């Protein structure tokens, strides 16, 4: 891994790295906060998946997670949202909700996207192996995952597909059912094709209906979020969890929107919630 920057913060170090990805066939940049720790110590990891248009930099600069991660001794990893670079295909009209910055954490099967848009494999397999090799990470079962919007969709689906890998999962304003919203229908059609059955591994509510389980989920959702009714639809996750017996804590936050003002307001609570489960 190539180190792009190191910055001291809250007693630990904020890193930005770049490496050549086999899964995406591009260089990939990501950030990692490593709290102060004793030599030889192995630390648990909290993954954060960002939303549409974002890179690793959005949460790194605005997420306000470092103090909480330093307090609880947790490494915080923030990947990019899609492959980038020369030759990587993008939406022909430059739309923000497809192509660069909008990888939707899927393994694309449709051309021309399938050559690079393999964010599922990158997040589930390749980047964890890189982190474990180069950083003071505990074993792969002492990890948790969270995310925002499209990244909340990624966090939920990845946790549901890999229940033995993640001790806990939470989300901020997640897209809970891409099969039932315009963002998701556009992305899944473009990346996966028209067969809606092939979309089900990338829809949290469908995964739950098909038998995937996690013990509990924490979700914060702003009531003033402009995407609440058309794109996010948290009631669908509430219904799916109730039917499956999954303990869902869905906190509707009055006055909060979809921005990092909202995310940063509740980030420390999410870190503490994950820390409790990582230490069990």
pLDDT digits (tens, 9 = 90+) for 199-222: 999 999 999 999 999 999 999 999
How buried is residue 19: exposed, middle or buried, by Cβ count under 10 Å (0-12/13-18/19+)? middle
- Asked if 178 contacts 187 with a C-beta cutoff of 8 angstroms, the reply is yes
Which residues does residue 99 pair with via DSSP β-bridges, in sequence order? Answer: 102
Looking at 149, 168, 170, 177, which residue is catalytic?
149
Q: Is the pLDDT of residue 100 over 90?
A: yes
Q: Model confidence at 113, in pLDDT bands (50, 70, 90)?
A: very high
pLDDT at 139 over 90: no
| Mean pLDDT within 254-280 | 97
pLDDT above 90 for 162: yes
Any alpha helices (H) in the chain, and if so which ranges?
56-62, 66-72, 119-121, 127-134, 150-161, 182-192, 204-209, 234-244, 260-278
- Please provide the average confidence, as pLDDT, over all residues in the chain: 97
pLDDT tops 90 at residue 253:
yes
Whether residue 237 is predicted with pLDDT greater than 90 in this model: the reply is yes
Tell me the percentage of the chain whose pLDDT exceeds 70: 100
Task: Report CA 151 to chain centroid distance, whole Å.
Answer: 4
Task: Report d(CA 98, CA 82) in Å as an integer.
Answer: 10
Three-class secondary structure of residue 128 per DSSP: helix
Each residue of 55-73: pLDDT tens digit? 999 999 999 999 999 999 9
d(CA 148, CA 141): 22
- 140 pLDDT exceeds 90? no
Tell whether the model's pLDDT for residue 138 goes beyond 90: no
CB burial of residue 191 (10 Å; 0-12, 13-18, 19+): buried
Q: Is 274 considered catalytic here? A: no
Mean pLDDT of 226-246: 98
Identify whether the C-beta of residue 61 lies closer than 8 Å to the C-beta of residue 82.
Answer: no
- Say what the pLDDT of residue 54 is: 98
Catalytic residue among 56, 220, 225, 274: 225
In the DSSP assignment, the letter for residue 115 is G
d(CA 195, CA 109): 11
pLDDT at 280 over 90: no
Give the pLDDT confidence score for residue 101 in this predicted structure. 98
Return the pLDDT at 273: 98
Chain centroid to CA 133: how far? Answer: 21
Peptide bond into 112 cis (omega under 30): yes
Select from 160, 143, 248 the least CA-distant residue to 203: 160
- Residue boundaries of the structural domains of the chain: 2-278
**Architecture of domain 2-278 in this structure:** 3-Layer(aba) Sandwich (3.40)
| pLDDT band, very low/low/confident/very high, at 239 (cuts 50, 70, 90) | very high
pLDDT category at 45 given cuts 50, 70, 90 is: very high
Q: Which of 56, 72, 148, 258 is catalytic?
A: 258
Residue 263 has pLDDT above 90, yes or no: yes
258 is catalytic: yes
Q: Nearest CA to 9 among 67, 82, 91? A: 67
How confident is residue 118, by pLDDT bands cut at 50, 70 and 90? Answer: very high
| The pLDDT of residue 79 | 98
Contact 141, 42 (CB under 8 A): no
Nearest CA-CA partner of 156 in 172, 143, 140, 142: 172
Per residue in 21-37, pLDDT tens?
Answer: 999 999 999 999 999 99
Helix (H, G, I), strand (E, B) or coil at 253: strand
**225 annotated active-site:** yes
């Amino acid at each position: 891994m190539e180190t792009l920057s190191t910055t001291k913060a809250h007693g630990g170090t904020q890193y930005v790295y770049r490496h050549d990805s086999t899964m995406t066939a591009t260089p990939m940049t990501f950030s990692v906060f490593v709290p102060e720790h004793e030599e030889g110590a192995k630390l648990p990891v909290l993954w954060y998946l960002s939303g549409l248009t974002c890179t690793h930099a959005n949460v790194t600069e605005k997420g306000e997670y470092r103090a909480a991660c330093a307090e609880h001794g947790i490494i915080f990893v923030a990947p990019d949202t899609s492959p980038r670079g020369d030759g990587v295909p993008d939406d022909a009209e430059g739309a923000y909700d497809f192509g660069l910055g909008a990888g939707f954490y899927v393994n694309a099967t449709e051309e021309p996207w399938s050559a690079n848009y393999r964010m599922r494999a990158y997040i589930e397999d390749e980047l964890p192996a890189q982190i474990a090799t180069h950083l003071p990470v505990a074993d792969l079962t002492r990890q948790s995952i969270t995310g925002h919007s499209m990244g909340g969709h990624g966090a939920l689906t990845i946790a549901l597909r890999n229940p033995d890998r993640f001790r806990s999962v939470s989300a901020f304003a997640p897209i809970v059912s891409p099969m039932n919203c315009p963002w998701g229908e556009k992305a899944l059609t473009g990346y996966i094709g028209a067969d809606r059955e092939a979309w089900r591994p990338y829809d949290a509510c469908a995964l739950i209906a098909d038998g995937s389980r996690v013990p509990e989920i924490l979700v914060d959702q702003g009531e003033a979020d402009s995407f609440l009714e058309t794109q996010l639809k948290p009631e669908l996750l509430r219904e799916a969890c109730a039917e499956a017996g999954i303990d869902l804590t869905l906190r509707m936050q009055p006055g909060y929107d979809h921005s990092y003002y909202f995310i940063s307001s509740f980030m420390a609570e999410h870190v503490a919630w994950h820390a409790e489960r990582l230490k069990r």
